[in-house]
Chain A
Amino acid sequence: MFQLKTTPFHERTSKLCLPQNWRRWAGYLVVGSYDLTLDREYWAIRNSAALIDVTPLMKYMITGKDASRLLNRVVTRDMDKLKVGQVYYTGWCDDEGKMIDDGTISRLDETTYRMTSADPSLRWLSMNAVGLDVEITEVTDEVAALSFQGPNSRKVLNKVADDPVDGLKYFRLMQNQVDGIPVTISRTGYTGDLGFEIWMDAKDALTIWDALMDAGQDYGITPVGILAMDMARVEAGLFMIEVDYTSTSHAWIEPQKSSPFELGLDWTVALDKQGYFVGRRALEREKREGSAWKMMGLEVEWEGMEQLFKSVGLPPQIPGMAFRGSLPVMVGNIQVGYASTSTWSPLLKKYIALAHLQKPYYEVGTNVRMEITVEHHRQHAPAKVVKLPFYEPEWKKK
């Protein structure tokens, strides 16, 4: 009786989750992986069509005359520019300009938005809505969500959806129907591949799941757990709250907090937008004075790493899934930052990491060394600072 929540897809996913590899996500139980190894699921994302249950995303409906005013006040992007049928990725900050959370905002009509977040946000939104004509409703449980990712995802959707999704552009959404059931389809995802997210009424979840699985058979459709998605999102240079940055609401000490600039989210901070928004002053100052940190990519140099393993008589050994432990990044004997998630990229055949680096070491091309463990000993493998994302297929936005 006293268990975590299960999602509306549980009846299907639980039958398929043979290794019983469950993970918790925002109070829900979700599948970690459907296989004992992640290869097949990872390659479904990159090569065919991956069906991922992302229902635990926190979801809010924001409606009313002042809905866009509220959002403009809370998030860093310019909501006046968000057109009906468009989706924005954005972060939001506290008054010191440090990140509270990040998510997407979809404009469903003139006065209706759907916002997703990783952490509960009702209170923060309500506090900022004082005096505004706006209604905020949490719909996390009511709206089920599937992330449908991979180069074949469009073909499968075209088979099941009433209206073709060919014309659906990157970060746009459309209302559609599957088997006569209304769904919202957005061209979004957390993998950096061609992909869609499908939003539906929770009661319709199983019907939609079945329709997609059925239609996807010939296209390599594969139910995928969140562990394989975790590898793909690192390749895509997308980060995760509480892993790659600490929300100000959970930070114990100042240095744990990050500004959007420090996360490389400059493009989401619309300092040119009208009026006040939370954190504006601090962000303007940081923009002027420059940031002390920046999140960048690290590519470990294979030969150097191979050498370290060779010296003890071993071939290189790399964890088979994304590793969420913090790893020191050095220049000489000085620690200049840390990697927050590292993973083997099966596609790039590289050991890559998302890293927080101090000025000036975050310049592209800087040579650093990242900690690795070689036969129980800590070593530092040579690595290079690179731009994010690590991987961006041409079909991602096309």
Chain B
Amino acid sequence: MTANQYDAIIIGGGHNGLVAAAYLARAGKKVVVLERRHIVGGAAVTEEIFPGYKFTEFSYVVSLLRPEIIRDLELPKHGLKILPLPSTFTPMDGERRGDYLASWDDHDLTRRELYRHSPKDAEAYDEYAPVMARAAKAIKPIINLIPPDPSSLHPRDLFNLLKVGQYAKSLSEKELYTIAKLVTQSSADLLEEWFETDALKGTKAASGIIGTFLGPRSPGTAYVLLHHYMGEIDGAFRAWGFAKGGSGGVSGSILNAAKALGVEIRVNASVKQVIVKNGRAVGVALENGDELHSNVVMSAADPKRTFLQFVESRYFPEDFVTSIQNFRTRGSSGKVNIALSELPNFTALPFEGKGADSALHRGAVSISPSIDYIERAYDDAKYGQISKRPYLDMIFPSMIDPDMAPPGEHVLSCFVQYAPYDLEGGWNDEKRNELGEAVISTIEEYAPNIRKCIVGMQVISPKDIEAIAGITGGNIFHGELLLHQIFFLRPVPQWVDFRTPLKGYYFGASGAHPGGGVMGAAGMLAAKEILKDGNW
């Protein structure tokens, strides 16, 4: 074999690309990963934008990372530690301003806290959680299935498809009904059937709109709620964690595992094009002119790059190209990472001293006081504006992993929605400042001393997600989690098994089945299909 000849070339060193490479190398293949940036990790990276303060730049919490990947690749041995994120605090608004709603990873504590606000909600919660967990459990095996060819089916036949599936046969009518309902309802509808406390509904609804360009009253958002119920840490459902070192810690452990298995990693290696000969992929050409050869090329970049940029469209059927063009990738969220000299103090639950033992800061803080609040934030975005009062999901990584900031100082990771990719007038420095200001003034309403704590701030718009992480359109999941873009329809009906119309060319990243998040499933499943084809 010549130096640039490989068994498999992986384009993109995001976590999915790394996972796929590791699985292929584990099967004895000679694999190279090509990453355009100077570091790997993609949207799961940690960077020191301000010296001493480590930002978990884009992705910040882990829940969906598949346990079998952790076991197969021995990630704990390679540095993976997923630390618990025990609570979520939602400061309240309106008449309840000054109070908060907390939820815990402990059932009794959560129930007790809910009871404080509404005995009825406390009771309903007892039922809601198992219903959602059961539905998540029911859907979960479907995620691991390579879906059958659904080409003859319309999205509305999802229900029927579920019904014919071998697995689905084991579900009760009631479970099927719940699932069918979950994929068609709005999260607001669903939640209003169950609860009365605004902060509870707001916080739950928020998880139904993350990464979508929809509001809590848009149909289909209930499914996303469920998607977020599928997290699994050490087998426990619905547990969110924070990886030591931030999400770069996850990528780092996969990188180490891949290297130990013999994977070659090339950074600053931007792929220009896939080389096609006799109707099949045979290698890639880099921007710098280098060529690498292999009968297996897998893209772990976003779908638009994968199918519209790396390969000339004449190699694909026309309707395939159209489908990819229509694949919705509207970015709607941004990220603000803040270096802090001290912890901001929340009026709803103030601490004394430095707050080192503040329970609020050890978990997530969600600015989602009500469904209306979030729907209003969406209203701004619908018309091309940054939400004046956006939904925020914050964590203080340094409270969970003290190595994230200099001793006694802190970092704040703040996910913000909505910040539309297609902003009226386009994104520029001024607009970026506007986004930063919207975030700070929102936090200020609940933690008045935030401004004087700030040492440095990184504001990331969807345009920046595109520019830095290389995700076309800046959607955090490479494509919205919409009903017609899930399961067997991701990325395109008929092409859901990680193969593409171009022989030898594969696709295994967040835009593929089963979707986005630091999950690794697409990379792992794609690698398994590649090994099945055995093109060597």
Identify the A interface with B (CB < 8 A). 1-5, 24, 26-27, 119-124, 126, 138, 249-250, 252, 254
CA distance A1 to B357 in the complex (A): 12
Extra inter-chain contacts (11) besides given A2-B109, A4-B108, A254-B172, CB under 8 Å: A2-B104, A3-B109, A5-B112, A27-B111, A119-B126, A121-B123, A122-B123, A123-B124, A126-B120, A250-B130, A252-B134
- Specify which chain A residues have a CB less than 8 angstroms from the CB of B112 in the assembled complex: 4-5, 27
25 contacts between A and B (CB under 8 A): A2-B87, A2-B102, A2-B359, A3-B109, A4-B108, A4-B109, A26-B108, A27-B108, A27-B109, A27-B111, A120-B111, A120-B122, A120-B123, A120-B126, A122-B120, A122-B123, A123-B120, A123-B123, A123-B124, A123-B126, A123-B127, A124-B123, A138-B119, A249-B127, A252-B134
Q: Which chain B residues in 347-398 approach chain A with CB under 8 Å?
A: 359
Chain B minimum-CB-distance residue to A251: B130
Q: Does B137 contact A (CB under 8 A)?
A: yes
Chain B residue nearest to A123 (CB atoms) is: B123
Give the complex CA separation of A1 and B109 in angstroms: 11
CB distance from B457 to the nearest CB of A (A): 31
Residues of B near A252 (CB, < 8 A) are 134, 137
Residues of chain A contacted by B124 (CB below 8 angstroms): 123
- Beta-carbon contact of B126 and A249 below 8 Å: yes
What residues of chain B lie closer than 8 Å to A4, measured between beta carbons?
A: 108-109, 112
The dominant DSSP class at the B interface is: helix
8 closest A-B pairs by beta carbon, nearest first, are A123-B123, A27-B108, A122-B123, A120-B123, A27-B112, A2-B359, A120-B126, A4-B108
How many residues in B have their beta carbons less than 8 Å from beta carbons of A?
19
CA distance A126 to B122 in the complex (A): 14
The winner among A2, A249, A254 for most chain B CB atoms within 10 A is A2
Within 8 A of A (CB), among B29-81: none
A1 touches B122 (CB 8 A): no
The B72-120 residues at the A interface (CB cut-off 8 A) are 87, 102, 104, 108-109, 111-112, 119-120
Q: Whole-angstrom distance from the CB of B301 to the nearest CB of chain A? A: 39
Interface of chain B residues 385 through 427 with chain A (CB within 8 A): none
Please indicate the chain A residues that have their CB under 8 angstroms from the CB of B120 in the complex. Answer: 122-123, 126
A250: chain B residues at CB < 8 Å are 130
> Which residues of chain A have C-beta atoms less than 8 A from B172's C-beta?
254
**Most chain-A Cβ atoms within 10 A of its Cβ — which of B111, B112, B120?**
B112
The 0/1 profile, CB within 8 Å of A marked 1, for residues 119-140 of chain B is 1101110110010001001000
> What's the Cα separation between A315 and B109 when bound, in Å?
44
- State A123–B124 Cα separation when bound (angstroms): 7
Which chain A residue lies CB-closest to B110?
A: A27
Residue ID in chain A nearest B359 by CB atoms: A2
In the complex, how many angstroms separate the beta carbon of B495 from the nearest chain A beta carbon?
35
Q: How far is the CB of A282 from chain B (nearest CB, A)?
A: 15
Q: In the bound complex, what is the Cα–Cα distance between A27 and B114 (angstroms)?
A: 12
> Which of B124, B126, B172 is the most central at the interface, judged by chain A CB atoms within 10 Å of its CB?
B126
The interface residues of chain A lying within 8 Å CB-to-CB of B109 are 2-4, 27
Q: Are A24 and B108 in contact (CB under 8 A)?
A: yes
* Chain B min CB distance to A100 (Å): 11
